[in-house]
Structure 1
Amino acid sequence: MKILVCIPSLLTGGTEIQTLNLVRALVSGGYRVVTVCYFEHSLEMITRFKQAGSEVVCLSKDGTRIGGWKGIIFLYKGFRRVLKQYRPDAAHVQYMAPGAIPILLLRLLGIRQIIATAHTAADIYSSLRLVHFIQQNCVRVFTCITELAERSFFGTSLLYTEQTQLKKRNHFTIYNALPAGISISRQAKSQDRPLTIGVVSRLESIKGMDLVVPAFAQVKACHPEMQLLIVGDGSLRKQMEEQTHETRLKKAVEFAGRQPQEKLSSYYDRIDILLMPSRSEGFGLTAIEGMARGCVVVAARTGGLPEVVRDGEVGLLHEPEQIEDLTAQINKLIEQPALWKQFSNEATIYVQRFSFERFSQLFNNLYQKIENKY
């Protein structure tokens, strides 16, 4: 069975990482995979997709994004050319900008087995009428990355398992998986040193990065031994550096910059309390990466984070935008080392539900059911 995996861009975001996981899973299941990228792409990600076993076709050779009617015509011609060359049995569309257009075009061009994966919740859409039309008339399966997201789209949710029966049209939740290079730690984190607070993130407002240094300043006032490690880069880096200067915390804060995926484990291993004060988060890939390495996550109660970070079981949640609440949750872990230890140990057990092996097993099971009813 040949599967066309369709995605707008091949850069280094969470959607691309999870699409790479999907490719790895399908290839391991014996499927031939062709990844079609419509617009922006990087040589690094193209190489990683090829190394995972996929052929890669970039419709826009220079990565230019084309909008409007020209963009629709561009996609139609590109898909028609790819379908003629590869003759796939199914298409798996990553449902993000430009939204439903690729699904409608693939359907128009004769593809009947279409699977769509939404990587966000429904709150980014002003209307769900088109999403519902697509799910009811165009795709065989619509998967979401959390049950919260699935309910936001369709009102109900169902975690997909091997026992799930397919109907003519379906929607399920299949959780994202740990990316390659992040293994689940088998060794407990050491407590023979002061706890280190950290973030691993794009340094952007949507990730709540402007809240990190002010919260750390409050923590530092109560616990002078604490250190802050910031891994990542973005438009807020200069502002965050200025915040450390204004609060006289320069010696206590390390800016490590953006790091390649294969080096992230070593940074997570240095972090004991991982902050995710996001203003919006579809899933929270950083959370499961950190938990896999024994970090205790303190995250905003927003998006998919409450589903991924079980409050009071493996981590703590704080109210969005509330620096005082964020600070209080961090202080709770510092002042109760036994609680931090409990959460850290539980996190490495809990996170196994997000393993690549489980992700691969579920998607291959889904495709086997689709193939048997083809």
Structure 2
Amino acid sequence: MTILVCIPCLMTGGTEIQTLNLVQALVAGGHRVVTVCYFEYSDDMVARFRWSGSEVVCLSPTGARVGGWRGIVFLYKGLRKVLKRYKPDVAHVQYMAPGAIPILLLRLLGFRQIIATAHTAADIYPNLRLVHFIQRHCVRAFTCITELAEQSFFGSSQLYSENTPLKRRNHFTIYNALPAEFSIRREARSFSRPVTLGVVSRLEEIKGMDLVVPAFARIRAKYPDTRLIVVGDGSLRARMQHQAQELGCADGIEWAGRQPQERLSDWYSHMDVVLMPSRSEGFGLTAIEAMANGCVVVASRTGGLPEVVRDREIGLLHTPESIDDMVDKIESLVGNVDLLQRYSTAALEYVGRYGFDRYSRLFNDLYKRLIPMNR
């Protein structure tokens, strides 16, 4: 079948990486995939989608965002042209943005076979009644990326499997997955001092990056050989570097900048503990990438992270925005290499549930079971 994957932008972010996973899974399942991007895009990400087997349509030639009523008219006309040209059997709407308008426009255009995936919890949606209307009346399935997110939307959740009973309208959870090319480390890591901390993130406040250097400075004051590797870039980079100078820990930090996806495993291999002090996190792709490389994750107790990073089993959770609590959790690992080893081994065994093959199998099964129901 022909599947239309709809997404607001094709930049470098977790939602785009997971949408790329979806494209690769559907192409592997023998489907023709067309990705339509409404607004911003990078040439690199467009090229990655095409390399993965998807045709790509960018509605905005310049990548500019169009807002208000002009934006609705722009989307209506763009989606109408795409439907007429490609005649898709299914539309899979990613991120349900902006404001579920693409779903409503698709229905207005007479399209009925729609699947929606929300990549966050319900806290960013001001009107859950609209979400419930969409789920009950507009889409065949509404998928969430964690059970916590699904519960926040609907008050109940279930992990999708090949045995999940399907109704005319459905909601369930299919976990995000490691990128298809990301392999899980086979042998256990071995830890010794000094311990290296790491960050793989956009350097933005929503990711809690303003908290990282102050926490590291306190760890380094007690364990002077500890190092920090920062992979990523963003608006806070200059501020973080200024913090490092002021707090006297700049010589212990390596600033690696933004790195391509295919090189991330090399960087994770140099990190023992990966920090994720996010203020908001729908899922936490970095967490499973780190675990797949045997790193131990210290993350804030927010969004989907408590479900992905099982506290005191495979990693540690701290109070959001609390540098004190984050430092306590990091110190418990830096000062106890045996505990690091135990969590790392457990994480390698656990992270297989987020493998790409399982994700691909579940989504292709969902399509196979859902779409024939109305044929």
Identify the residue that residue 188 of structure 1 maps to in structure 2: 188
Identify the residue that residue 3 of structure 1 maps to in structure 2: 3
Instruction: Extract unaligned runs of 5+ from structure 1.
Output: none
CA–CA distance in structure 1, aligned partners of residues 192 and 198 of structure 2: 18
**Contact 2:191–2:272 under 8 Å retained in 1:** no
**Contact 2:96–2:103 under 8 Å retained in 1:** no
**Contact 2:298–2:315 under 8 Å retained in 1:** yes
Q: TM-score, normalised by structure 2?
A: 0.98
CA–CA distance in structure 2, aligned partners of residues 283 and 30 of structure 1: 28
The DSSP-based 3-state class of the residue aligned with 2:92 is strand
Identify the residue that residue 259 of structure 1 maps to in structure 2: 259
Cα offset, 1:372, TM superposition: 2.6
Identify the residue that residue 227 of structure 1 maps to in structure 2: 227
Identify the residue that residue 156 of structure 1 maps to in structure 2: 156
CA–CA distance in structure 1, aligned partners of residues 76 and 121 of structure 2: 27
Deviations 1:151-202 (A, max 9, x none): 1111101100110011011000000000133211112223244210111111
Identify the residue that residue 359 of structure 1 maps to in structure 2: 359
Identify the residue that residue 91 of structure 1 maps to in structure 2: 91
CA–CA distance in structure 1, aligned partners of residues 214 and 49 of structure 2: 39
Q: Which amino acid aligns with 1:226?
A: T
Q: 2:345 aligned with 1:345, yes or no? A: yes
Cα offset, 1:122, TM superposition: 0.5
Instruction: Extract unaligned runs of 5+ from structure 2.
Output: none
Deviations 1:312-348 (A, max 9, x none): 1100000111111101111111122111101111111
CA–CA distance in structure 2, aligned partners of residues 191 and 57 of structure 1: 47
The DSSP-based 3-state class of the residue aligned with 2:83 is helix
CA–CA distance in structure 2, aligned partners of residues 64 and 246 of structure 1: 39
Identify the residue that residue 334 of structure 2 maps to in structure 1: 334
CA–CA distance in structure 1, aligned partners of residues 164 and 253 of structure 2: 48
**Contact 1:181–1:265 under 8 Å retained in 2:** no
Q: Which amino acid aligns with 1:113?
A: Q
Q: 2:311 aligned with 1:311, yes or no? A: yes
Q: Which amino acid aligns with 2:167?
A: K
CA–CA distance in structure 2, aligned partners of residues 370 and 132 of structure 1: 20
RMSD between aligned residues: 1.0
Identify the residue that residue 236 of structure 1 maps to in structure 2: 236
**Contact 1:41–1:63 under 8 Å retained in 2:** yes
CA–CA distance in structure 1, aligned partners of residues 9 and 120 of structure 2: 16
Identify the residue that residue 290 of structure 1 maps to in structure 2: 290
- Work out the percentage of aligned pairs sharing the same amino acid: 68
Trace 1:196-215 onto structure 2 (pairs within 5 A).
196-215=196-215
The DSSP-based 3-state class of the residue aligned with 1:181 is coil
Cα offset, 1:308, TM superposition: 0.4
Q: Which amino acid aligns with 2:305?
A: L
Runs of 4+ in 1 over 3 A off after TM superposition: none
Q: TM-score, normalised by structure 1?
A: 0.98
The DSSP-based 3-state class of the residue aligned with 1:136 is helix
Identify the residue that residue 71 of structure 1 maps to in structure 2: 71
Q: 2:134 aligned with 1:123, yes or no? A: no
Q: 2:114 aligned with 1:114, yes or no? A: yes
The DSSP-based 3-state class of the residue aligned with 2:166 is coil
Trace 1:40-55 onto structure 2 (pairs within 5 A).
40-55=40-55
**Contact 2:143–2:171 under 8 Å retained in 1:** yes
